[in-house]
Amino acid sequence: MKKSLSVLVCICSYLSLLGQRSTSAPLNDQNHYLYDRLEIKTGHFGGIHSVFKPLMRRDIRYYQDSLVREDYWLGNKRRQTDYEYLRNDNNDEDSTVNSRKPFMKFLYPKRNKSFLRHFYRTPAHLLEARVKNFYVCIDPIIHFKGAYERFNGENKLVFINRRGASVRGNIGERVYFYTDIIESQAAFPQYVQNRINRDFAVPGAGRFKQYDSNFSPGIDTIGVDYILSTGYIGIELMKDHIGVQFGHGKNFIGDGYRSLFLSDYSNNYFYLKINTRIWKIHYQNIFAELTQNYGQTHYAFDLALPKKYMAAHHLSINVLKNLNIGFFEAVIFSRGGQMDLQYLNPIIFYRTVEQAVGSPDNVVLGLNWKWNFLKRFSFYGQFILDELSVGDLIDLGVSWWGNKFALQTGLKYIDVFSVDHLDLQVEFNMARPYIYSFRDSSANFTHYNQPLAHPLGSNFFEWIGILNYQPLPRMNIRAQVNYAIYGQDSLGSNWGTNPNIGYNSRMQEVGNYIGQGVQTNLLILQLKWSYQFRHNMFADLQFMYRKEDAVVDNLDNQTIMIGLGLRWNISEKNQDW
């Protein structure tokens, strides 16, 4: 009780002393893609550190407005459409944004004086109120997608049905808030259902209820029902310098398609995030409460899930206007469901704290970089190191099981061959066996039985290629290929792929290599067409081919999927693993 009270006092102290810059754009939405293009095209960061995601809306608008002087937006209609999207979607502090063609006025032109005039006064928001020192907007969230799946010669229909609403706003430009709630029912493709069966969790979400879906007549289809909610509050005292966010959601640290530090693959979690900006430096702290491993009994008996904690900090430095480097450190620990107060120090080196408390925890160190050059290219990467004994490494060699690290490197090429809005990204990721794992689930890098970093866990090589093209202002075509080589665990074995399995059950001390165990080749081909027919209203058409081929055990799973969907105020994250 005393420890919990102390933690609460510390959190309240942070909230009283610090502030938050603005609300954030949702992860994986159009804002992040457009901002990425702008940053590369201009050749300078503009004082913003985009390694921290989700991006803050004020940063996006600040950067966009800085380009007005350069006449960048006058190039063609596609650039003008990008400008309008960013301006409309991030209008929290801009009272000049108004709808030229209000939605309800278009439907009911003779009812301009009715209550319908309150809807879509601005292009992005269903309902909006702006008075002195207060702004709020309310938006619906709808996503329905149906798809035909052919898995190993068997056909069925799969779907996802998500409905909800979001509310965001600010009070006096000092307090910022956001909340949403999304109710979902889905019948996933078989490879996703296999992951659910393994982890007892929906990827990107958490616990669920299972039911028999009638979406495919005459076919027994397993459906899942789950709910997901995000919410946070931020306070600003020292404008543009020190901020805090206190809430429940996800974070992403990195410049690539994947992150080896912290990704958005797992479920939402409770966190306190502190941002400090000084000169060319952005320093971020994240203190989070996570969930340890759990099994089927927690569903059967409705038991409380065991807790663990994460403390992470990242120092980002814009060395040059187009060169950024960063240093990352994180520790995950458990004290019988209690937070260790020593890790609340926002600037201490966590490895020293780990040693001071008897070294019972799991600490990782990381380095990242990004170099934008020639106003066309961005070279980026990450390197993360888990526990490593130099003495054992020298004695036992590089195949020693404790030689645990992961590496990412990638390149983005904007306006390929001078074709406007034709963008290419290639990325390589690799992770040694047993990285992110621990003796038990009290300190492994997982949350709700799901990896906190890469969805493949560890023990893999991965190559990704993404080609984006915008042939028309509101149309986008995306082609993507994923190829991975990874090792799976056969029955009763532990070859270092799944971080949920403790490394004490490892198969051998030396002779370890990437792909050990049941070596598996994974190929994913995707093609997606999207059209935005009104702000944040998208029609999607998708084709996917997935083949998983194991060298032994005669495993050869093939999935072909063709789907059609409709989205409103929500993004869709690819399930490409």
Q: How far apart are CA 128 and CA 121, in angstroms?
A: 7
DSSP string, 128-150: EEEETTEEEEEEEEEEEEEEEEE
User: What CA–CA distances, in Å, run from 333 to 140, 154, 442, 488?
Assistant: 38, 44, 6, 27
Strand partners, 151: 154, 559
pLDDT exceeds 70 at position 229: yes
pLDDT at position 160: 95
As a whole number, mean pLDDT of residues 377-405 equals 83
Indicate the pairing of strand 307-320 with strand 446-447: unpaired
Indicate the pairing of strand 518-534 with strand 537-550: antiparallel
Please write the tens of the pLDDT for every residue from 487-524: 998 888 999 999 999 999 999 999 999 999 999 999 99
507 and 493 Cβ atoms separated by less than 8 Å = yes
pLDDT exceeds 70 at position 253: yes
pLDDT at position 491: 81
Please write the tens of the pLDDT for every residue from 181-220: 999 999 999 999 999 999 999 999 988 888 877 666 556 6
Q: Domains of the chain by range and CATH?
A: 2-93+125-568 (2.40.160.10)
Q: How far apart are CA 428 and CA 487, in angstroms?
A: 17
185 and 192 Cβ atoms separated by less than 8 Å = no
Q: Give the CA dihedral 433, 438, 441, 442, nearest 10 degrees.
A: -150
User: What CA–CA distances, in Å, run from 447 to 125, 199, 288?
Assistant: 33, 10, 11
Q: How far apart are CA 85 and CA 94, in angstroms?
A: 14
Q: How far apart are CA 134 and CA 84, in angstroms?
A: 24
117 and 103 Cβ atoms separated by less than 8 Å = no
CA neighbor of 240 nearest in space, from 47, 93, 74? 47
Lowest mean pLDDT: which of 138-152, 234-248, 343-357? 343-357
Q: Can you tell me whether residue 97 is helix, strand or coil?
A: coil
With bands split at pLDDT 50, 70 and 90, how would you rate the model's confidence at 560?
A: very high
| Residue 448 or 347, more confident | 448
137 and 128 Cβ atoms separated by less than 8 Å = yes
pLDDT at position 248: 96
pLDDT exceeds 50 at position 391: yes
pLDDT at position 304: 78
With bands split at pLDDT 50, 70 and 90, how would you rate the model's confidence at 558?
A: very high
Q: How far apart are CA 457 and CA 148, in angstroms?
A: 29
487 and 520 Cβ atoms separated by less than 8 Å = yes
User: What CA–CA distances, in Å, run from 168 to 56, 100, 233, 239?
Assistant: 13, 23, 10, 20
Q: At 87, which helix (H) or strand (E)?
A: helix 77-89
pLDDT at position 16: 36
pLDDT exceeds 90 at position 394: no
Q: How far apart are CA 187 and CA 163, in angstroms?
A: 15
Residue 229, φ and ψ in degrees, nearest 5: -135, 140
pLDDT at position 157: 93
To which residue do tokens 């050990």 refer? 516
DSSP string, 383-451: EEE----HHHHHHH-TTSTT--EEEEEEEEESSGGG-TTEEEEEEEEEE-TTTT--SSTTSSSEETTEE
Q: At 86, which helix (H) or strand (E)?
A: helix 77-89
279 and 241 Cβ atoms separated by less than 8 Å = no
CA neighbor of 145 nearest in space, from 539, 525, 526? 539
Return the DSSP state at 43: T
Residue 474, φ and ψ in degrees, nearest 5: -110, 10
Q: What percent of the chain has pLDDT over 70?
A: 85
Cα 31-122-28 angle, rounded to 5 deg: 15
The token pair at 67 is: 């380009």
CA neighbor of 429 nearest in space, from 250, 255, 251? 255
Please write the tens of the pLDDT for every residue from 255-304: 999 999 999 999 999 999 999 999 999 999 999 999 998 877 766 666 77
CA neighbor of 424 nearest in space, from 483, 370, 478? 478
pLDDT at position 8: 38
Please write the tens of the pLDDT for every residue from 45-55: 988 999 999 99
pLDDT at position 345: 75
pLDDT at position 124: 92
Q: What is the mean pLDDT of the chain?
A: 87
454 and 464 Cβ atoms separated by less than 8 Å = no
CA 243 to mean position of chain CA atoms: 21
State the chain's maximal CA–CA distance in angstroms. 84
Please write the tens of the pLDDT for every residue from 81-133: 999 999 999 998 888 888 776 555 544 555 555 556 668 889 999 999 999 89
Residue 64, judged by CB atoms within 10 A of its CB (0-12, 13-18, 19+), counts as: buried
Q: At 232, which helix (H) or strand (E)?
A: strand 221-238
Q: What percent of the chain has pLDDT over 90?
A: 65
| Residue 15 or 410, more confident | 410
Indicate the pairing of strand 307-320 with strand 475-488: unpaired
Please write the tens of the pLDDT for every residue from 304-356: 788 999 999 999 999 999 999 999 999 998 877 777 777 777 776 666 666 65
Please write the tens of the pLDDT for every residue from 516-549: 999 999 999 999 999 999 999 999 999 999 999 9
With bands split at pLDDT 50, 70 and 90, how would you rate the model's confidence at 74?
A: confident
CA neighbor of 421 nearest in space, from 34, 17, 117? 34
pLDDT at position 399: 85
CA neighbor of 364 nearest in space, from 459, 260, 479, 467? 260
